[in-house]
């Protein structure tokens, strides 16, 4: 166990773990095989008041902090990377920016139903040609009277096909560089011209929809502008600080799930008249998994606590995301090895954790981008 958690946090973790083991774990492989978004699971998470953990109660949330939210993300990742991914994208990317940057009217109209779990949210930044250079944006928003007209394409957007609101980044001043990017709240159900053109088949995480969306003369009223014109890039950087903590927590959970599968198998599986956990090579792999998890969890919790204290977390959240994402993939790969041939089959969980973990090194800024961020933070 990590450092002693406050009673409320420990209780939340236990509630989520019990829910994950009874409701999610039995279907985790099935929803992956079927590429099915498990809407019923998110309805149950809403019933448990978990869809807006770090959102203030007045806006429909649980009034928890980011540490509590990180605990929930870890527990979800421990049984299902797909459910965990859709959950953290909904919370840190789609809901918290409205809470942090929105007007009172926007918080009431848009943040509250998200936090209450009435529907999921989505966040649309990446474009087909931008990749890691997210500021290289072609999506445009032109002011026409008292509304904006949005045109462009967004790529690899989590939850877009199941979302009730999408935060879209678009250029409002083409000559202003970073200062020309703004954020808009789009209603995919009501706003004409919004279309999900692709739901991608992926290496893993197929129960969490990853989409391409097309914006074709999407008209939104000016009260859907989040903050002021030109605030979009600063909002993005602040959002990603919290988003990296989300991915760090989710990655830690994936690592825990793979570790537990390997440990349990190694203590039960016998070869040469003894459990394979007694062989040095297997034991050392499992010990290394445990060490890596503790390191990643401590970094993640440190980042979450600093975030809750209002400190600058760019460096520590990037460290946590980089470390946790890489260890989740390493642990899952070793878990497959511990299980041998069984680890390569879908009857056992390590293969799923292995495939899911790889995205953690790509999403919310690749490992290479994290090195770039950390180098800048160190003045290099």
Could you say which DSSP state residue 5 is in?
Answer: P
For residues 151 and 217, give the distance between their C-alpha atoms in angstroms, rounded to a whole number. 5
Residues 6+ apart with CB under 8 A from 265: 338, 339, 342, 348
**Residue 87: strand, helix, or coil:** helix
Cα–Cα separations (whole angstroms), residue 248 to 63, 189, 300, 305, 361: 22, 32, 6, 14, 10
Range 34-73 burial, b when 16+ CB lie within 10 A, else e = eeebbeebbeebbeebbbbbbbeeebbbbebbbbbbbbbb
Q: Is 270 in the active site?
A: no
**Two tokens, residue 108:** 């009431």
Which listed residue (57, 105, 364, 377) is catalytic?
364
**Residue 289: strand, helix, or coil:** helix
The pair phi, psi for residue 197, each rounded to 5°, is -95, -20
Cα–Cα separations (whole angstroms), residue 7 to 16, 18, 49, 220, 299: 14, 16, 17, 44, 21
Cα–Cα separations (whole angstroms), residue 279 to 268, 274, 284: 13, 9, 8
| Alpha-helical regions (H) of the chain | 7-19, 28-34, 39-47, 66-79, 81-88, 96-101, 104-106, 112-115, 232-268, 280-308, 314-339, 350-360, 367-377
Range 294-331 burial, b when 16+ CB lie within 10 A, else e = eebbebbbbbbbbbbeeeebbbbbbbbbbbbbbbbbbb
Q: Which are the catalytic amino acids?
A: 364
């Amino acid at each position: 166990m990590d450092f002693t958690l406050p009673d409320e946090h420990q209780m939340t973790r236990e509630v989520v773990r019990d829910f994950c083991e009874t409701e999610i774990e039995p279907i985790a492989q099935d929803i992956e095989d079927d590429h099915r978004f498990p809407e019923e699971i998110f309805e149950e998470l809403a019933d448990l008041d978990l869809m807006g953990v770090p959102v203030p109660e007045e806006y429909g949330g649980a009034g928890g902090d980011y540490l509590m939210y990180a605990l929930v993300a870890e527990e979800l990742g421990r049984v299902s990377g797909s459910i965990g991914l859709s959950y953290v994208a909904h919370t840190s990317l789609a809901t918290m920016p409205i809470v942090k940057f929105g007007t009172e009217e926007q918080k009431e109209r848009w943040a509250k139903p998200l936090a209450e779990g009435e529907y999921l949210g989505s966040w649309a930044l990446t474009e087909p040609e931008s990749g890691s250079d997210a500021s290289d944006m072609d999506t445009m928003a032109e002011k026409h009277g008292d509304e904006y007209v949005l045109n462009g394409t967004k790529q690899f957007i989590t939850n877009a096909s199941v979302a009730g609101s999408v935060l879209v980044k678009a250029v409002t001043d083409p000559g202003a560089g970073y200062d020309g990017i703004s954020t808009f709240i789009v209603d995919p159900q009501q706003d004409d011209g919004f279309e999900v053109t692709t739901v991608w088949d992926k290496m893993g995480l197929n129960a969490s929809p990853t989409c391409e969306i097309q914006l074709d003369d999407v008209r939104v009223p000016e009260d859907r502008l989040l903050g002021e014109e030109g605030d979009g890039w600063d909002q993005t950087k602040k959002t990603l600080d919290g988003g990296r903590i989300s991915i760090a927590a989710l990655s830690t959970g994936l690592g825990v799930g793979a570790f537990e599968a390997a440990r349990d198998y190694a203590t039960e599986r016998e070869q040469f008249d003894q459990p394979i956990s007694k062989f040095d090579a297997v034991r050392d792999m499992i010990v290394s998994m445990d060490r890596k998890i503790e390191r990643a969890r401590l970094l993640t919790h440190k980042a979450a606590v600093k975030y809750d204290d209002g400190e600058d977390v760019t460096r520590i959240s990037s460290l946590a995301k980089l470390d946790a994402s890489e260890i989740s993939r390493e642990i899952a790969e070793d878990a497959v090895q511990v299980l041998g041939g069984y680890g390569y089959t879908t009857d056992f969980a390590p293969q799923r954790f292995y495939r899911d973990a790889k995205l953690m090194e790509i999403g919310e800024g690749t490992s290479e981008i994290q090195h770039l961020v950390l180098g800048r933070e160190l003045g290099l």
